[in-house]
Structure 1
Amino acid sequence: MEFGIGMDFHGQDVNRAAEKAVQDAVSKSCLCGLEEVLGIKDLNREVYVEITIAVTKPEEIDADRIKQCIPIGKKNLKAVYGGLKVPGLYIPEFGDKDNSIEAALACIEVSVK
């Protein structure tokens, strides 16, 4: 199990924040031994990945887009209400719709069956 956090400083895009959160969690994980110790032959068929992503607008999450951030396994994604929306800078040239920053929290759980 690993956690990650991601922010979209400009654009207020919960999917971009979610992608960053998942990428952060993946970058801190190490799955040593799946092949060597457990004898897994096919990481895409024998590994299961549960992704829980908390954002301020879970109904806007594009599950297929976020799942692409996970390099292996059969993936299941659940978007829940959470995350943060905090004040930031409003710079229309950067794609901002308002002055907020979207923050997402991801939990990645890996299992083998």
Structure 2
Amino acid sequence: MKRGRYIVEIGIGTDLHGGNFTKAAQRAVKDAMSRSCLCGLFDIVGISDPNQMVVEIRVGCSEPDKVNIAEVQATVPFGTVTTEIVAGGLHVQGLHLSALGEGDTIVVAVAALTVYIDIP
């Protein structure tokens, strides 16, 4: 069977206090997912189970080695999920408020989610 792209969606996520790259990446993935309703997979393509899709996550952040890939993948509730973390995004100095987290680093991550489906 041939695999085809159904949708590519972009999201942005931040951690404003604490410099947590995983949180920023998860929020970017959630942001991308919140922009799409994949009803066409059921109504037009005819899948019967959302686990039939393959979801490819690609996240850009300034320190890729600080992202917990398993936690980012767990953000996607359905499908076979693959994840790649690459250099990108940014981090800047923010405001330290110890009640909200350690440090004063604002972390920004960008995510691209691509949904694939097998085409008979």
Same fold by TM-score greater than 0.5: yes
Number of residues paired by the alignment? 111
- Distance, in Å, in 2 between the alignment partners of 1:94 and 1:111 is 38
Structure 1 gaps of 5+ residues are none
4+ residue stretches of structure 1 with deviation over 4 A? none
Between 30-39 and 73-82, report the one with greater CA deviation: 30-39
Compute the TM-score of the two structures, normalised by the length of structure 1: 0.92
SS across alignment from 2:92: strand
**1:10 partner letter:** H
Asked if 1:4 corresponds to 2:11, the answer is: yes
Structure 2 gaps of 5+ residues are 1-7
Equivalent of 1:88 in 94, 97, 120 = 94
Cα drift, residue 42 of structure 1: 2.2
SS across alignment from 2:41: coil
Compute the TM-score of the two structures, normalised by the length of structure 2: 0.87
Aligned to 2:107: 102
Asked if 1:25 corresponds to 2:32, the answer is: yes
* Structure number having the greater strand percentage: 2
Cα drift, residue 96 of structure 1: 2.1
**2:19 partner letter:** Q
Q: Please tell me the root mean square deviation across aligned C-alpha atoms, in Å.
A: 1.1
